Amino acid sequence: MTLNILPPLSRSLPRLTRSTLSASRSLSRASVPTLAAATRSTGTNSYSSSRGNNAKPAANQTGVEEPKVVAAANSTQSEEPEVAAAPQVQSKAAPASISGGEEWGTSYQGLGTKPFDKKAAEILTAPINEEDIEMKPDGLIYLPEIKYRRILNKAFGPGGWGMAPRSETNVGQGIVSREWVLVCEGRFVATARGEQEFFKPSGIPTASEAAKSNALMRCCKDLGIASELWDPRFIRQFKKKQCVEVWCSDTAGKKKKLWRRKDDPPFEYPWKENGFA
C-alpha cells in the first residue's frame, strides 16, 4: 500500500509548489505598499521626534495631536514680545537714576516742588547784618561773596549746595561771563550769568572765578539772602546812616567824588582824600 500512495503525492508536489510561489508573490506585492506606508509613518515619527514630540508618537501618526503642538509653538512665539518689552521697563527707570548726576545744563529738576525746612528758611531770610555790608567807591553797596557761601553752608551744610555751569565761558573784549545754576539739596534753585572785567589775558582765570561768584550773588536773591541790598529804600537809608561821600584827587591832580563807609579809613592811594563833599 505504501508503494501505491507515494506516486500520487509526488505528482501533486509541483502543483503545490506553484501555488505556493504565486501566493508568495502576491503576498510580496501586497506588502510593498504597506512597507512604503510604514516607511512614511516612520519618517513622520522620526521628524516629529526631532521636534521634541517623542512623548506620543502614535498620536502623531493619526494627526490628532499636531494642532496642539502647533498651538504650543504659537503660544511660545506670542510670548516673545513680552520678553522684548523688558528693556522698555529699564528705559523708563532711567530718568530716576539721572537724579544723582543730573545734567544741570538743561534741567530744572525740583524747581518749586516744595519749600525748604523751617530751619533753613530762617537762616536764608534772616535780616542782613549791616556790619557785613561793604561799599565800592562808586557808591554801590554789596555783601562779599564769602558771606553768601557761609549763609548757604549754615542753611544746607557743606556739600548740601553747589554751583553748576549752564553755558560755556564767554571771553569778550576785556570781559568774561558765564551762566551758572545754583543747586541746593539736589534741587534747581536759580540761574544767573556772572561777569567780570579783566585787563590782560593772564587775568582771565581770576576773572572767570569772579564771574562765578557774581552769578552766585545773583542766584541767592531767589533764596532771600541779603535781599535788602536790592531794596532802593534800604540802600538810601543805609548810605545816609553808614556812609559818606568825599572829595579825592589822584596823582595828576584830578578831583573826583567817592563813597566809603564812615567807619572805614580815608582814601590814600591812588586817590587821596581831601575832605567831605
Same domain, 241 and 216: no
Total number of domains in the chain? 3
Within a domain: residue 220? yes
181 DSSP β-pair partners: 164, 191
Q: Which long-range contacts (CB under 8 A, 24 or more apart) does 105-112 make?
A: 105/164, 105/165, 105/166, 105/167, 107/188, 108/188, 109/186, 109/187, 109/188, 110/186, 110/187, 110/188, 111/187, 111/188, 111/189
Say if CB 262 and CB 250 are below 8 A apart: no
Q: Do both 259 and 182 map to the same domain? A: no
d(CA 47, CA 53): 9
Q: Quick one: pLDDT at residue 102? A: 56
Tell me if 111 sits within 8 A of 185, measured CB to CB. no
Residue recorded with cell 541746593? 184
150 with 205, same domain? yes
User: 112 and 195, same structural domain?
Assistant: yes
Q: What is the pLDDT of residue 103?
A: 83
Cβ proximity of 196 and 207 under 8 Å: yes
Alpha-carbon 135 to chain mean position: 44
The candidate with the shortest Cα–Cα distance to 40, out of 67, 63, 24, 65, is 63
Kindly state whether residue 265 falls inside one of the protein's structural domains. Answer: yes
Q: Going residue by residue through the chain (277 aa), what tens digit of pLDDT does each one get?
A: 444 444 444 444 445 445 544 555 554 454 444 444 444 444 444 444 444 444 444 444 444 455 444 444 444 444 444 544 434 433 333 333 334 455 888 899 999 999 999 999 999 999 999 999 999 999 999 999 999 999 999 999 999 999 999 999 999 999 999 999 999 999 999 999 999 999 999 999 999 999 999 999 999 999 999 999 999 999 999 999 999 999 999 989 899 999 999 999 999 999 999 999 8
In a domain, residue 137? The reply is: no
Domain presence at residue 147: yes
| Predicted structure pTM score | 0.61
- Of 226, 242, 266, the residue at which a domain comes to its end is 226
Angular region, 184: left φ>0, alpha ψ -120 to 50, beta rest = beta
Asked if 62 and 26 sit in the same domain, the reply is yes
Residues 246 and 218 in one domain: no
Domain that holds residue 259: 231-277
Q: What's the CATH number where 151 sits? A: 3.30.390.80
Q: Are 39 and 60 in a shared domain?
A: yes
Out of 78, 95, 116, pick the residue that ends a domain.
78
Please report whether residue 43 resides in a domain: yes
114 and 213, same domain (yes or no): yes
168 and 254 housed in the same domain: no
Domain closes at, from 194, 209, 226:
226
The pLDDT assigned to 162 comes to 96
Residue 126's pLDDT is what?
A: 97
Same domain, yes or no, for 160 and 251?
no
